[in-house]
Structure 1
Amino acid sequence: MITRTVPGYAPGVRIRDMALADCAAVAEIRVRGWQRAYAGLIPSAYLDAMDPAQDAERRRTHLMAEGGSVNLVAEAPDAELTGWACYGPCRDEGVRPGSAELYAIYVRPDRVGAGIGRSLLGEVTARSLSAGFDAITLWVLKENVRARRFYERAGFRPDGAEETFEAGGARVPEVRYTHPLTPPAAV
């Protein structure tokens, strides 16, 4: 298991590989993250019906399947999990070969703005580059202004692709962002 403190973002927070024992905490982070971030963007009945226990079971199934995705958690100095990210090879057709995709990134709602998301994204970027990927893509809700600003500050830009998904009977639009990866300059 790789554990690393990512300098410059969230002091004392360590980023490590997710373990099966983390599934319940990650599900809680994901569900509460959805409920806070997507309030007003996704029907409230859909968000209210999200169940951390069911989500934890899905996390366990996905983690045991080991299908090419990498799950990372952010751990505070007191060992409490404060964030989660998942990435792997890009699943979209028409994207240049060699691209990674950030499938998900969530931070406990009471810790948003503390640098945890930047720490997770920094680790995803570093690991993607080390794995030989030359770009990272992600999908973000079109109306999620806060998340879009977060990604844009990190160097991501919309690439023109849009799609929708169904949540609670509503069509929810998403836009795709991409960020080229470049190796560090040789000294």
Structure 2
Amino acid sequence: MTAPVRVRRAVPADADAAGAVFLACWHGSYADLLPPPVRARYDGASAVALWRLVLAAAPDGVLLADVAGHGVRGVVRFGADPDDARRGHVFSLYVHPDAQGLGLGRTLLHAASGQLRAAGYDTATLWVFAGNHAARAFYVGQGWTPDGGTRVEEAYGEPEVRLRRHLPAVTPVQ
């Protein structure tokens, strides 16, 4: 897949596409990470319903990677950190398994970081499953580092670690 990629803001009509990317990751990428009962919480209908709610609540905080001829293959959701509104936060980043390794995650994460910096945040956080070694390595490669925060959300039952990154200043266009 070497088609051009357009990063764009999501609109409510993108709930089906965002739900499909989420679901493919939930059942594919997390197959060895989350127990089957947790993964079974989402099917096609519930994934789309989830993204309808997300897009209705915070449409400005969702960007999509739209690949020419292939449709939406990645989604990132970001905004204020719910634990400290002085920081930005990346709530989720999903790249469809058939498009992983093509740079879409890096492109979306960079775009979200730029949006957070433009909104006035100089640092951002995110949570990643402790056992998701590939995702952790990806984030570390993008300049995110563990800050000592850990949690286990009841809904997932898996340990997570918090990563943090200083957001570089936005270079003004001249």
- Per the normalisation by structure 1, the TM-score is 0.84
Question: What are the superposed Cα offsets for residues 139-166 of structure 1, whole Å, 9 maximum, x if unpaired?
Answer: 0000100000000000000000100023
Q: Which amino acid aligns with 1:183?
A: A
Q: Which amino acid aligns with 1:50?
A: Y
Question: What are the superposed Cα offsets for residues 53-111 of structure 1, whole Å, 9 maximum, x if unpaired?
Answer: 12212211232233x8601110012261110000000011xx5x521000000011110
Instruction: Say whether 1:47 aligns with 2:39.
Output: yes
Q: Which amino acid aligns with 1:98?
A: R
Aligned counterpart for 1:30 among listed residues 8, 13, 22:
22
> Structure 1: 5+ residue runs without aligned partners?
1-9
- Rounded Cα–Cα distance in structure 2 between residues aligned with 1:123 and 1:32: 22
- The 5 Å alignment of 1:30-179 reads 30-66=22-58, 70-78=61-69, 80-92=71-83, 95=84, 98-167=86-155, 171-179=157-165
8 A contact 2:3–2:69 mirrored in 1: no
- Per the normalisation by structure 2, the TM-score is 0.90
| CA RMSD between the two structures | 2.1
- Rounded Cα–Cα distance in structure 2 between residues aligned with 1:166 and 1:32: 22
Structure 1 residue runs of 4 or more that deviate by more than 4 Å after TM superposition:
none
> Structure 2: 5+ residue runs without aligned partners?
none
Corresponding residue pairs, total: 172
